[in-house]
């Protein structure tokens, strides 16, 4: 009869519990990636519409189209960068979980490495969220109605 089996089972259960926090972060990252993917799709569709209109516009209307295309280009770049950071964070989270289990089963002191990977993942996630915030700010600015359409000099 193996007297260490209950201890090993308990240690496995503890490792699984320890790995749950990174896995929840991984789920959150997946949700953010999904949101960014939807936003990217809408931005790309809008940019294609404007590119079709580009040659058919003149003067003030043409300037408005170009301004919006430039804004959409920045938004596409920000979303792409945020998604790359989120993917790198996801990989770091996955490696964190792997390190926890390898440390447990191989009896190797990898916990500092796992902690470093987890901290890196959270840093990448925070950086991606800052880019996401910037992208939403650009989207909000693009939604603002140009002054010439507001006709503020007129009293209505």
Q: Among 67, 81, 63, which Cα is nearest to 135's? A: 81
Runs of H (alpha helix) within 55-110? 59-106
- pLDDT of 8: 57
Flag the least confident range among 10-14, 26-30, 71-75. Answer: 10-14
Backbone angles phi, psi at 110, to 5 degrees: -100, 5
Whether the per-residue pLDDT at 6 is higher than 60: the answer is: no
Asked whether the beta carbons of 96 and 67 are under 8 A apart, the reply is no
Three-state SS for 131? helix
Whether the per-residue pLDDT at 7 is higher than 60: the answer is: no
Residue 51 burial (CB count, 10 A): 12
Asked whether the beta carbons of 121 and 93 are under 8 A apart, the reply is yes
Q: How confident is the model at residue 33 (pLDDT cuts 50, 70, 90)?
A: very high
Distance of CA 89 to the CA centre of its chain: 9
State which H helix or E strand residue 19 sits in.
Answer: helix 5-54
Which pLDDT tens digit goes with each residue over 52-86? 999 898 998 898 899 999 999 999 999 999 999 99
Return the C-alpha torsion angle 109, 111, 113, 117, nearest 10.
Answer: 160
Asked whether the beta carbons of 37 and 132 are under 8 A apart, the reply is no
Which pLDDT tens digit goes with each residue over 129-141? 999 999 999 999 8
């Amino acid at each position: 009869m193996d007297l260490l089996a209950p201890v090993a089972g308990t240690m496995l259960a503890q490792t699984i519990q320890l790995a749950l926090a990174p896995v929840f972060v991984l789920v959150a990252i997946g949700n953010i990636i999904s949101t960014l993917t939807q936003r990217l799709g809408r931005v790309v569709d809008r940019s294609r519409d404007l590119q079709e209109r580009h040659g058919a516009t003149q003067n003030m209307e043409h300037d408005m189209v170009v301004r919006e295309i430039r804004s959409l280009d920045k938004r596409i770049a920000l979303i792409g960068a945020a998604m790359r950071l989120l993917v790198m964070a996801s990989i770091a989270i996955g490696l964190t979980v792997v390190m926890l289990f390898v440390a447990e089963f191989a009896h190797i002191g990898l916990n500092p490495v796992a902690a470093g990977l987890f901290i890196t993942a959270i840093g990448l996630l925070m950086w991606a969220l800052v880019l996401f915030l910037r992208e939403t700010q650009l989207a909000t600015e693009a939604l603002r109605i140009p002054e010439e359409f507001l006709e503020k000099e007129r009293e209505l």
